[in-house]
Amino acid sequence: MIEHDKRADSNTLTIALSKGRILEQTLPLLQAAGLNPSENVQTTRKLMVDGDFHGQPIRFLIIRAADVCTYVEQGAADLGIAGRDSLLEYRPHVYEPLDLKIGRCRLCVCGPKALVEAGLPERGSHIRVATKYDKLASEYFLTQGVQAEIIHLYGSMELAPLVGMAERIVDLVETGGTLKANGLIEETTLCHISSRLIVNPASFATSKQKVQAIITSLRQAVDQSDNSKG
């Protein structure tokens, strides 16, 4: 783990942001909270971008969603924005003070329409499951008494049943459009997902006032967003 007192610019807090579609939903919240990158983090090729929080310097890391938990847990970032799916799968030792209420979707077991409509896999049966959520998928099927052979994929899960590589997939579902287009339907919802603010415990202990100020500002931004939608 990175020693906080040995990091360069130790007075500057670092926030890890997820690349991809969730970043678009994150930026309005950051702006409302007064967390302002010095350049457009959606278009820059930089992985580290300076910024400002009410006159105080801050730093942003732009990294893969799956890596945010690791960067925060290891102390390379003081705070981060991560999906609940990553928190449940990787179980990092971090604080989770705030649900940002963005990136909402659900983690589901899905399969070909005919197969799902035929019923749940029988207890004691063996199935192949394509997913990037190895732990969550294994644990779910274990509770069902089903032996799941996990086939780890990083994307395009819907393709696996079409080519006969798996009978089920476990993946995030937002609208269900991609499932429908590929002849798949939802079988079971494992949990509902949204993006969360996470904090490194050591950072919270050593920079509590600064970290708490960011948490408070983001909480106010989330509340304002909720009120405007209501």
Contact in structure between 129 and 170 (CB atoms under 8 Å): yes
Bridge partner list, 126: 147
| Fold (CATH) for 4-103+194-229 | D-Maltodextrin-Binding Protein; domain 2 (3.40.190)
DSSP state letter for 121:
P
The total number of residues written for the chain in this structure: 230
Q: Which pLDDT belongs to residue 1? A: 52
Cα–Cα distance for residue pair 137/230, rounded to 1 Å: 35
Contact call for residues 199 and 82 (beta carbons, < 8 A): no
How far apart (Å, rounded) are the C-alpha atoms in residues 52 and 229? Answer: 27
In the chain, the amino acid numbered 90 is: Y
Q: Which residues belong to CATH 3.40.190.10 in the chain? A: 4-103+194-229, 105-193
CA distance 98 to 81: 10
CATH class of 105-193: alpha beta
CA 28, chain centre distance (Å): 18
pLDDT score at 205: 97
Pairing of strands 35-37, 56-63: unpaired
**Would you state the pLDDT for residue 5?**
42
pLDDT at 4: 44
Q: Taking each helix axis from N to C terminus, what angle separates 208-229 and 21-32, rounded to the nearest 10 degrees?
A: 100
Helix (H, G, I), strand (E, B) or coil at 36: strand
CA torsion 89→90→91→95, rounded to 10°? -110
Q: Determine the pLDDT at residue 3.
A: 46
Q: Please tell me the predicted confidence (pLDDT) of residue 20.
A: 86
Q: Are 151 and 165 in contact (CB under 8 A)?
A: yes
pLDDT, one tens digit for every residue, the chain (230 residues): 544 443 445 689 999 999 988 999 999 999 999 999 999 999 999 999 999 999 999 999 999 998 999 999 999 999 999 999 999 999 999 999 999 999 999 999 999 999 999 999 999 999 999 999 999 999 999 999 999 999 999 989 999 999 999 999 999 999 999 999 999 999 999 999 999 999 999 999 999 999 999 999 999 999 998 877 76
Give the separation between CA 72 and CA 92, rounded to whole angstroms.
9
